Amino acid sequence: MTRSDPSHPTLFSPLRLGDIDLANRVVMAPLTRNRATHGNDAPNALNVEYYRQRAGAGLIISEATQISQQGQGYVWTPGMYTAEQVAGWRAVTDAVHAEGGKIIAQLWHVGRISHVSLQPGGQAPVAPSAIPAKGKTYVESGFVDVSAPRALALEELPGIVADYVKAAENAKAAGFDGIEIHAANGYLLDQFLRDGTNTRSDAYGGSIENRTRLTLEVVDAVVNVFGKGRVGIRLSPVTPANDARDSDPQPLFAHLVARLDEAGLAFIHVIEGATGGPRDFLPFDYDALRKAFRGAYIANNGFDRASAIEAVASGRVDAVAFGRLFIANPDLVDRLRRDSALNTPEPSLFYGGDGKGYTDYPTLQDAAA
């Protein structure tokens, strides 16, 4: 059974998430930190320590990991398409498993949220339609405007799906417990979903059924690699992140989640509200998604200890994902359980750099010593 036992679950109760057994319902959200190895975008010893420190999470969802060079949108983010990258990730998963933790890989194609300096041969980024995004990306010189994209040709779409399959196979070889497909925050799959970014007139544009087609093809392909009990998806129905817009998100995501339920996925991971912003950014019925999906519902965005405990205890969600709190508190689960004080994250150290602001936040044990 994927969904929790209704008899008084708590934030700290075990949960069977599809085919993955979690020790608690505190999930570490995917967090871009731009600390992969310069030159080959492979995880390194610093990344291993970062994830090892946070293995007390019921589940770690890795930072967004590009499925190809074309899928990269920011400098020094890790990939899942070369032997060096797979070896780097294997060291990460081994360290997390040695601490008794569980970790899944978030697979990512950024689509139009990229820059020509990051693309193969300096080419334009790709998107469902040639609509430039109003937004920034992060390159070696700092934050810059994203580059104008070109529209993907119909005959290119099977290659995108194939890149997801290869990345999933690599993630399996690297020892991950499962996969989260990134279909949120205005990246490629989300761009196909939304009528503000997808103006295609072929089988991948226009109707809701057409706009969800690529995402569902990716889901089916990745399930063939890992099995449906080890695959989930991240969604952000109303977020404006990366210039994501849709004229009527409720029926769009109702249709998508109904299809994801039919596919038997282990979980949906839903950003409620604006990513990193207000939860009530736009009206949306998240409970309708929860009721339409028989797998686990992981809620994300702006939760604190009290609201997370209430959300699980009420049965509204199965688990809660925390982002920034995990940056500054490697032992977050222990702190939440004890209701201990939390370290404050330093935003200036979020992206790039070394261990400062990455692996040097103290645990309760450190403080006691």
Task: Catalogue the active-site residues.
Answer: 187
Largest interatomic CA distance in the chain: 63
Contact 57, 20 (CB under 8 A): no
Q: How many CA atoms lie within 13 A of 316 on its CB side?
A: 14
Q: What gap in Å lies between CA 233 and CA 219, rounded to an integer?
A: 8
Q: Is 269 helix (H, G, I), strand (E, B) or coil?
A: strand
CB atoms within 10 A of CB 122: 10
* Cα of 363 vs its chain's centroid, Å: 25
Q: What gap in Å lies between CA 18 and CA 3, rounded to an integer?
A: 8
Q: Is 300 helix (H, G, I), strand (E, B) or coil?
A: strand
Q: What gap in Å lies between CA 17 and CA 317, rounded to an integer?
A: 12
* Cα of 33 vs its chain's centroid, Å: 13
